[in-house]
Amino acid sequence: MHPQQAEIPVMEVKLKLLGELESLGFPRARAVRALHHSGNTTVEAAVNWLVDHENDAEIDQMPLASDITEAIKTKEQELRDRVRINKREEEKKREREREKERIRAGKELLEAKRIAEENERQRLLAFRKAEKEEEKRAREKVLQKLELDKSERKRALGLPLTSQAVKPSAPIIQEKKLQNSLPVKSVKKADRMRECLRSLKHTYRGDNARVKRAYQTLLIYVGNVARSPDEEKYRKIRLSNPKFQERVGNLKGGIEFLELCGFERSEGNDFLVFPREKVDIELLNSADSLLKSAITNPFFGLLEHVRED
């Protein structure tokens, strides 16, 4: 068997410094060892090392040399590659987070839209229901009035009267049951609101355009608060505003209707303000339905006129 050869060490050196040492006449083996052991700093440090170790046994043994500059460059490139990879991973992570945020915001927007559509649907149903009930009550009162007039004419002519009394129809009975099932406070306020609108229409019955404009203006005020209760600008009305006075403020029942909805006079009576904590969406929806019925239903207020007659 051949004796095992000693492993030749690999020493890292700067080729530029190695060339300078060789130009001074030092053998490559000694120059490589001197640079390696002196830390590859300067030619002077390498020369000093050679002076101190010129009698070493392995001083002339040729080691394997590698360029330390290239090693450093390789490591720097590896670091740059690693930084680039980390940066790319971080960007991907941020993009995933942004995508999650977009999805979450999209879901919230869809949910808010669904809720708004559902509220609008409920408002529309309540409006249609109130409109139909108003028409039924108006027709019933008209029929009662006609029956009474018929009886009076028979009495005046000396004709026999029938003993059948005019009975209210089933829808009115159902309406009374429905009213009894509602909260007392809401029913009373709704009745007072209806009375305000009826009084306004009766007072200005010769000026239908003015009445309709007042109803439409009140509908805007109520609708704005119902749709955006957190918007302060919708919950504050300047009483001295000329347009407000012309359309609502100077009309009997106009300001009272807004106060029933929740508006309050501020100190000094300069404004009508609607405190955020007192916003009642259900009550505003009822007011909304009453106003729409008053605008579109030709029978609105007819019940009270018949009763007064």
Topology given in CATH for the domain delimited by 15-63: Helicase, Ruva Protein; domain 3 (1.10.8)
pLDDT band at residue 10 using 50, 70 and 90 as cut-offs: low
Nearest to 284 by CA among 175, 178, 189: 189
What pLDDT does residue 93 have? Answer: 92
Nearest to 48 by CA among 36, 34, 58: 34
Provide, rounded to the nearest whole percent, the portion of the chain with pLDDT above 90: 31
Q: Which residues pair with 10 in a beta bridge?
A: 64
Q: Domain extents for the chain? A: 15-63, 185-296
Q: Which residues pair with 64 in a beta bridge?
A: 10
Q: How far apart are CA 51 and CA 34, in angstroms?
A: 10
Q: DSSP for 106-175?
A: HHHHHHHHHHHHHHHHHHHHHHHHHHHHHHHHHHHHHHHHHHHHHHHHHHHHTPPPP-PPP---HHHHHH
Topology given in CATH for the domain delimited by 185-296: Methane Monooxygenase Hydroxylase; Chain G, domain 1 (1.20.58)
Residues 146-191: pLDDT tens digits? 888 788 777 777 677 664 444 444 444 444 444 444 444 556 888 8
Q: How far apart are CA 14 and CA 73, in angstroms?
A: 12
pLDDT band at residue 115 using 50, 70 and 90 as cut-offs: very high
Q: How far apart are CA 63 and CA 27, in angstroms?
A: 12
Quick check: 238 pLDDT over 60? yes
Beta-carbon neighbour count of residue 74 at 10 Å? 10
- Please check whether residue 200 is in contact with residue 218, taking contact to mean a CB–CB distance below 8 angstroms: no
Q: How far apart are CA 232 and CA 239, in angstroms?
A: 16
Three-state DSSP at 64 gives: strand
What pLDDT does residue 133 have? Answer: 85
Q: Which residue is listed with tokens 């392995």? A: 58
Residue 190's identity, in one-letter code, is A
Distances in whole angstroms, Cα of residue 207 to Cα of each of 147, 252, 275, 308: 31, 13, 34, 20
What pLDDT does residue 181 have? Answer: 45
Q: How far apart are CA 195 and CA 302, in angstroms?
A: 12
Find the distance separating the first CA and the last CA of the chain, reported in whole Å.
Answer: 137
Mean pLDDT of 112-124: 88
250 CB-contact burial (10 Å; exposed 0-12 / middle 13-18 / buried 19+): exposed
pLDDT band at residue 66 using 50, 70 and 90 as cut-offs: low
In the DSSP assignment, the letter for residue 194 is H
Q: DSSP for 199-244?
A: HHHHHTTT-HHHHHHHHHHHHHHHHHHHH-TT-GGGGEEETT-HHH
Q: Which residue is listed with tokens 């026999």? A: 160
- Name the average pLDDT for the chain: 81
Quick check: 104 pLDDT over 60? yes
Q: How far apart are CA 246 and CA 223, in angstroms?
A: 20
Task: Give the dihedral sign, CA 190/286/294/239.
Answer: positive
Q: Is the pTM of this model over 0.85?
A: no
What pLDDT does residue 304 have? Answer: 52
Q: How far apart are CA 222 and CA 274, in angstroms?
A: 11
Quick check: 29 pLDDT over 90? no
